[in-house]
Chains A and B, each alone.
Chain A
Amino acid sequence: MREVTKDEVVRISLELNGKTVSGNATSRMLLTDFLRNELGLTGTHVGCEHGVCGCCTVRIDGVAARSCLMLAVQADGRRIDTVEGLAASKDALNALQRAFRKHHALQCGFCTAGILMSFSDFLSRKQNPEEDEVREVLGGHICRCTGYDGLVKAIMEAAAEMRGETPSNAGAA
């Protein structure tokens, strides 16, 4: 049994983007605030803080979920992946990120980190999704800029590229 009382500050360690890191947390601290304020990784954004907008989405043990609906203490010992871990290096974006850039799937970028994390989970489970399925997963995010069509195009093209198909006719539609 683990107990953290309300005034206690505890050390949390987790595997973040493949590296073991640790920081201090109180029992009521949200995972979003722990990532942003304690660990300094501000790629994960905070919009609504009640599970509606999706911009705080990260992967918890590989599974995409809202980090505003999880406590930092719950992440202790778990594997967390955030947008900062997607690109292999500063100038080597991954397939999904490249497709986002090509199809203008972002404007202000506020919602983008969450959407990338949702689809990095979804596309790892479903290599050949229908457009409807992509729209359904996208339904868990709110973007106020792009109008979603660019997002759908980018995600479909990234899926094709990740399957090893060349993105030849992408963008033609």
Chain B
Amino acid sequence: MKPAPLSYIRPDTAEEAVAGLAEHGADARILAGGQSLMAMLNLRLVEPKALIDISQIDELRSIRIDGNMIEVGAAVTQAEFLAWPQLKEHAPFIAKALPWVGHFQTRNRGTVCGSIAHADPSSELPLSLALLEGEVVLRSKSGTRHLKASEFQTGMLQTARRDDEMITAVRFPADVGTKGAAFREVARRHGDFAIVSVGAVAADQGAVRVAVGGVADRPACIGIEASLTVSDMTDRIERLAWELGGYDDIHASARYRRDLVRRLVPIIIGEVRACAK
């Protein structure tokens, strides 16, 4: 299949890009790496009247440390972030999760921000943003706002982005998980959509913060305090598995997803605690 007819606009600056959005609104889509959007265009799941290609905008190409945040611009690819020399040191969790995003070939073009904008409930990057409590920077003609991960992703493929806004960057808190970070997922083939993905980082006072993706309509996070007994922890995970209300689809049943949550969460908590020692 081929995309439906559309106009192609390639601005040179972020300012021109938001001006384009102000003009076209919901009829336009931002094109960055295109690893989700181009497939949806080819399948005609979306038929925008205009594409605004931000992949060549220089000011969106940087990864930088800003205070205690790592800011990743909207044109930075997943492969570039993975190759960022400071990734392991300042974002050990992302260093573990990122190799699971798509394949070598799609990470070469797919962007970090694009994956978060797409907001697939089983994707690793939205899960990372939720787990690390990062934020999304949205820009429109009327200004810039920062939304927390939990405010940004509102449901399956749904976000709080307004039609006249584009993501210019995402910001991950630096140095979270330096005392322990772990990621696991179950998928049919490495690089395919996760059936269930689980990430965790060591938090304060021996607690572990856990995020689960692929079960509910967006990543869900819980904290497991150090003082919790094994049976309390098991109860809490059991409650979580039911609360997430997993769905049946061609990849797995809701029951299988619940079972994966029951099994993966304790394993990953153990992995984080083992790194912390």
Contacts and interface: CB of A to CB of B under 8 A. Distances in A.
Interface of A: 1-7, 26-30, 33, 49-51, 54, 57, 60, 63-66, 68-71, 73-74, 118, 121-122, 136-137, 139-140
Given A30-B42, A54-B105, A69-B42, 13 more contacts: A4-B8, A6-B6, A27-B51, A28-B3, A28-B8, A30-B3, A49-B1, A54-B103, A66-B35, A74-B55, A122-B104, A136-B190, A137-B104
B35 A1 contact: no
A65 B108 contact: yes
Main secondary structure of the interface of B (DSSP, over half): loop
6 contacts: A1-B16, A5-B7, A73-B8, A136-B190, A137-B105, A140-B102
Contacts, number: 107
A68 B7 CA distance: 18
Contacts of B55: 74
Contact of A7 (B5, B38, B108): B5
Contacts of A50: 1, 39, 42-43
A3 B8 contact: yes
A69 B31 CA distance: 11
Given A2-B10, A140-B191, A68 B38 contact: yes
B109 A139 contact: no
Given A64-B104, A64-B105, A140-B106, A69 B5 contact: no
A119 to B, nearest CB: 10
Contacts of A139: 103-104, 189-191
Interface size class of B (residues with CB under 8 A): 35 or more
A4 B8 CA distance: 5
A70 B8 contact: no
Contacts of B4: 28
Nearest to B39: A50
Given A74-B55, A139-B190, A66 B3 contact: no
B5 to A, nearest CB: 4
Contacts of A60: 109
A69 B16 contact: no
